[in-house]
Amino acid sequence: MNEKENPKIIVVIPVYNHGDSLRKVVEGTLAAGWPVLVVDDGSDDEPLRQLTGLDCAKLRLPTNEGKGTAILAGAREAARLGYETMITLDADGQHDPAEAELLVRQAELIDRPAIVIGARRMTQETAPKASLFGRAFSNFWVRLESGQELADTQSGMRLYPIRELLALNLTCSRYDFEVEVLVQAAWAGVALTSVEISVHYPPPGQRITHFHQLRDNFRLTLLHTRLLLRRLAPWPHRQVCSRPAPQEKKLRFPRPWLAMQMLFREHSSAPGMATAVWLGLFMGALPLIAVHTVAIIYVAHRLHLNKMAAVAASQFCMPPVVPVICIQVGYFMRTGQLLLDLSREKWLHEIHLRLWDWLLGSLVVGPLLGLIGAVLVYWAQTRLFRRQTKEKGPSG
């Protein structure tokens, strides 16, 4: 890749105590023809000293403020230098700088500003198990929050349109930034896409990571909670770029059974169906008298889940069995004993207390019922998929 072909693209490398690997990463990036900006996020090992003699821009933050802060600082500096697009690389050497061209080519296929993620080819044999689980977990929540099916929401190799990035209302500054920026960008009209890239993991004893299992996972939990609640809110998001006009669709009246098939196939992946069933059972157990179906359809729609599966699952919570179980559990939580008195006084005159018991109990019974249903549906879906794959054979 020749720098002259993309004069408005720069590679930004945030670094924090990766001095040993930084020079090799920068040399590889320069050799691939890209201009480089290194952002030192208040490192203790003075990594910028390792870059003596290399033709790259440097920016040092006085204190360690997190990867997200370093990326945004790099975006502002890149904009000041006249660049419109930046590609981020991790400083630990897991990415091949020559593959940055793949992200640029992918971005050129999109008709509006886009964030392009380098989706790492991670295998069970070479990738740390924690990374494999973390990626799958993150992908799942980002899909609920943004509606985007992305292959690798944790990859640090990304292409960002700088103007749109800086226009987002971002609040996270550390590892949670890389999740928040994807969801906020999707809400704001920025396209999200990915392209497959290679990845290199050093031996376990040589790999440096600054991810704190307790602290950073707690931050991610708070972030996903906040994003989910915002996703459920009905008011629109501020747009930072215009979306393409939707194609006009002809009004059709399909046969009822075809319409039902279409609804059941919507968002029908195994994790998606399992989550829809969990949602239906959980909300079906809640005391949402007379509005269960409407509420379930709304939440399933906002979270891009299969609405028919969620509503169907909720029917298992119809009175009287599940509500009575919830009331008994809630009463036990309040008093330490079961409600064995079936008198009019207890069940009609104290209806306000029974509703309170129902709510308390549903917060325990609902998630447990949902978990059982989700596991069964996920098992059935994956078993059916394996059987269909086996029947098709390798040439399917």
> What distance in Å separates the CA atoms of residue 138 and residue 133, rounded to the nearest whole number?
8
DSSP lists the bridge partners of residue 57 as 37
Is the backbone of residue 189 left (phi > 0), alpha (psi -120 to 50) or beta? left
Residue 294's nearest CA partner among 281, 310, 305 is: 310
- Walk across the sheet containing 57-61 and list its strands: 57-61, 36-41, 9-15, 85-88, 158-161, 114-120, 191-197
Question: Tell me, what's the pLDDT at 252?
Answer: 55
191 DSSP 8-state letter: E
174 DSSP 8-state letter: S
| 60-83 CB burial, b ≥16 within 10 A, e <16 | ebeebbbbbbbbbbbbebbbeeeb
> What distance in Å separates the CA atoms of residue 38 and residue 49, rounded to the nearest whole number?
12
How does the average pLDDT of the chain come out, rounded? 85
> What distance in Å separates the CA atoms of residue 220 and residue 159, rounded to the nearest whole number?
22
Question: Tell me, what's the pLDDT at 168?
Answer: 95
pLDDT in tens, 69-96: 999 999 999 999 999 999 999 988 889 9
- Which domains does the chain carry? 3-232 (3.90.550.10), 256-392 (no CATH)
Res 64 pLDDT > 80: yes
Does residue 115 contact residue 182 with C-beta atoms inside 8 Å? yes
Question: Tell me, what's the pLDDT at 363?
Answer: 96
Element (H, E) at 358: helix 351-392
Question: Tell me, what's the pLDDT at 250?
Answer: 53
pLDDT in tens, 31-63: 999 999 999 998 888 888 888 889 999 999 999
Residue 162's nearest CA partner among 92, 113, 229 is: 113
Question: Tell me, what's the pLDDT at 299?
Answer: 92
Strands 9-15 and 36-41: parallel
Q: What is the pLDDT averaged over residues 224-243? A: 88
pLDDT in tens, 152-199: 998 999 999 999 999 999 999 888 899 999 999 999 999 999 999 998
pLDDT in tens, 326-377: 999 999 999 999 998 888 888 888 999 999 999 999 999 999 999 999 999 8
**282 band by pLDDT with thresholds 50, 70 and 90:** very high
**265 band by pLDDT with thresholds 50, 70 and 90:** low
Does residue 165 contact residue 177 with C-beta atoms inside 8 Å? no
**387 band by pLDDT with thresholds 50, 70 and 90:** low
Question: Tell me, what's the pLDDT at 204?
Answer: 56
Question: Tell me, what's the pLDDT at 259?
Answer: 46
Which pTM does this prediction carry?
0.79
- Cα torsion 262, 264, 270, 273: sign: positive
CA 132 distance to own-chain centroid: 14
Give the number of C-alpha atoms closer than 13 A to the C-alpha of residue 390, restricted to the C-beta side. 6
Residue 370's nearest CA partner among 290, 274, 305 is: 274
